[in-house]
Structure 1
Amino acid sequence: MVVIMRPAASDSEVAGVVQRIEKFGMQAHLSRGKERTIIGLIGDEREIDFDSIAALPGVERAIPILKPYKYVSREVHPETATIAVGDVVIGRDLVFMAGPCSVEEEDTTLRIAEQCRRAGAQIFRAGAYKPRTSAWSFQGLREKGLQILAKVRQATGLPVVTEVVDTADIQIVGQYADMYQVGMRNMRNYALLGELGKTDKPVLLKRGDSAKLEEWLAAADYVARNGNDKIILCERGIRTFEDYTRNTLDLNAVGGAITESCLPIVVDPSHGTGRAELVAPMSRAAVAAGAHGLMLEVHDNPRLAWSDGKQSIVPAELERLIQDCRRIHELTR
């Protein structure tokens, strides 16, 4: 069950609801947003009197929810959230995030960023911290990479999104990035998710490669329950028996997430396929399915990319892709 308080509810009214919940032998978890407070119930809800809680002063509505996610549920928030990243609004506009897999040398990164901007991208993406399957693979430029991303924003005006991999890095990444990215390996890092919930920056949450939809949305709840409801979902493919592609891009998840959750969703066809020649067709399919944006790996010389060159498209391909996807978006919105 979730209790949604009225925007003008007083602290004493919130306390009254908490007291009533505890009287039923349950725990109350408060999530204080900018506009209103949401109270989640923890425990066995079968004996609770929903009507008595809904009738308490300051309560807007009480919603019984049996799913493992509550705060990000469409039942709690009927309207799709719109989330500002700089001047870009995800959930309202069709958004394109583009850039190399890794932050590279400053001149290279700045050059690619400008090419992405000219092609129509609104957000620059690149990894300063790179969690890799092999301990011997390139792990990213770390703080030096963050400093380069800050120069990208200054030079191009593009907001930047980059991955945070550890709770210890949240503060320093937040000094440079406009949006945190949680990669697929960390979707179940609940300590990291909880700490990101205490920040005020948007969080792009990638789906784990073996996560079900409800597990992914439950992970988003770990961020939302600590007060940060600025969450964007990112479908980036799941692991299946198919080995022609790097992953299997699950576009069912786009429709499922839109049905079940209030959060906007973007799709990463670069990781979803691992093949540059498949990025454009899967991008078009993702937008037709209702995705609010795309996350794309772009490099002006993929053969020389420091990581994931095989799935990187070139800036000219990005420009054509954006034009095609915008036309599809106009037809399907």
Structure 2
Amino acid sequence: MDLTVLGEPTRPMVEVGGGFANRLQRLDTDQGSFAVKTLALTDRREPYRAAAVFRLEQAAFAAGIPMPEPIAASADTLVHRWVDGVAVPEAPVSPNFGAAVGRLLARLHALDVDWPADPEPSPVPRDWPGLAARAVRSGQPWAAELAAKAETFQAIAAFVDSCPRPGPVVLTHRDVQPWNLLSQDGAPVLLDWELAGRLDLAAELGSTALGLAKGPGLDTVRPASFRAVLDGYVDAGGTLPPSGPGWFVHTLGGWLGHTRLNLLRCLSGEAAVAGPDLAMSHRIVADGVSGLPELYERLPQLQALLP
């Protein structure tokens, strides 16, 4: 992408910390400040739809949804107007902040934006006993725990594959979590739209509400923060789908796929071309091996949070 159209630089581009997959830099010019993100397009679980995501971002920004202004997009580079704000910690948010996120989602789901047809979903892999055996043979540090829980991982995969989705399906961000939010004067600003696409409404609301109601583990789930997201959604004109386990299938499925992808990296002994190094991949797998079974076992408790 030709960045000269953004103006004359006033200082060299600055590398900005954050995620471990994409590269983010800040560009200051005589026309303002911009966030320039170079996408890691290899080793993804699904293709990135640059043009479609950019259309959705433009429509969302035009509708007044709090987010960085989308400036330009190419196959591998995204440019947004730079936004200052306070990082949102992975901890239960205040009810006011949760309600604001719920209202934001209701406005987003009300947009009418063209989206390309989605491919048929692939079955969720159920090869966890074999992966555990390979991990044991190769001496992975988390292998014994995975081997002991392999059948639980099979059950999680079966749940993700077969759990009913009550609908409707909405076009949405799909990753509204603390690490993709900033706080400006106590109000949310939604970042990082690369995973945007269609998703069952219950899965979107459940993933978002749970992510904003808990800390790094599941021992700090705050019901008031969870319900505030849903109350804000309804206050802004949204309609809640029927309650059920499908509210949490996106959280489980996303974490399961992320764990498996990094597990395969660890088994190969090769880090992603543009992504986490092997040490980070090992930490991701260890977190998944310990955390996924706990999340799965706590589904009845989480469903008790639903209306």
TM class, shorter-length: under 0.3
Q: TM-score normalised to the size of structure 1? A: 0.25
Q: Normalising to structure 2: TM-score of the pair?
A: 0.26
Higher relative contact order by CA 8 Å / sep ≥ 6: 1 or 2? Answer: 2
Q: Which protein has the bigger helix share?
A: 2
